């Protein structure tokens, strides 16, 4: 499994559970990360992602949804761009790192993800780096966030 697939599955889960998500986390910026096994590198969140999440939380950020040309379609008579819901969004408020834990051959109903507030993520990774570690464990991630289990079961 790749991070883009985990992000897609998380998006489906959030869409199916929008009421619960917005009641708990509100409108927010999210960066999804994939954790294979029991550790994730402290460098998993890139500097430009940190900057964007912090900006979204503190002052707000504008994000334009890219226009996707349809020239790659096989039908040569189709021109223009794919339909999109709107041009962009302004996000101001909460910002989270969503860590999806993937363990090969693990049953789908046992898979987990953890939602960690960006400030907590930064404190956790900075503390690990000060201690000479280049990664954090799943247990450390769970201590800083909220774990959801079996979030993919609705897909099966």
pLDDT digits (tens, 9 = 90+) for 74-122: 555 556 666 778 888 999 999 999 999 887 777 766 778 899 999 999 9
CA-CA-CA-CA torsion for 55, 132, 38, 54, nearest 10 degrees? 0
> Which 3 state secondary structure label does DSSP give 1?
coil
Helix locations, the chain, DSSP H: 3-16, 18-25, 47-58, 118-130, 138-144
DSSP 150: S
Please give the model's pTM, rounded to 2 decimal places: 0.81
CA dist 87 and 94 (Å) reads 21
- At residue 155, the pLDDT reads 38
Fold exhibited by the domain 3-62+92-155: Trna Endonuclease; Chain: A, domain 1 (3.40.1350)
Q: Average per-residue pLDDT in the chain?
A: 85
């Amino acid at each position: 499994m790749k991070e883009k697939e985990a992000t897609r599955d998380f998006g489906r889960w959030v869409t199916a559970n929008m009421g619960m998500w917005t009641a708990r986390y509100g409108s927010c910026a999210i960066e999804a990360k994939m954790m294979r096994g029991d550790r994730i590198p402290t460098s998993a969140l890139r500097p430009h992602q940190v900057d964007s999440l912090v900006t979204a939380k503190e002052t707000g950020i504008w994000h334009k949804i890219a226009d996707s040309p349809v020239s790659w379609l096989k039908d040569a008579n189709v021109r223009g761009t794919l339909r999109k819901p709107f041009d962009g969004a302004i996000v101001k408020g909460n910002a989270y790192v969503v860590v999806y834990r993937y363990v090969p051959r693990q049953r789908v109903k046992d898979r987990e993800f953890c939602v960690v507030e960006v400030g907590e993520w930064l404190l956790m990774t900075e503390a690990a780096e000060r201690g000479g570690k280049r990664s954090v464990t799943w247990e450390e991630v769970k201590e800083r966030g909220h774990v959801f289990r079996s979030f993919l079961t609705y897909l099966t």
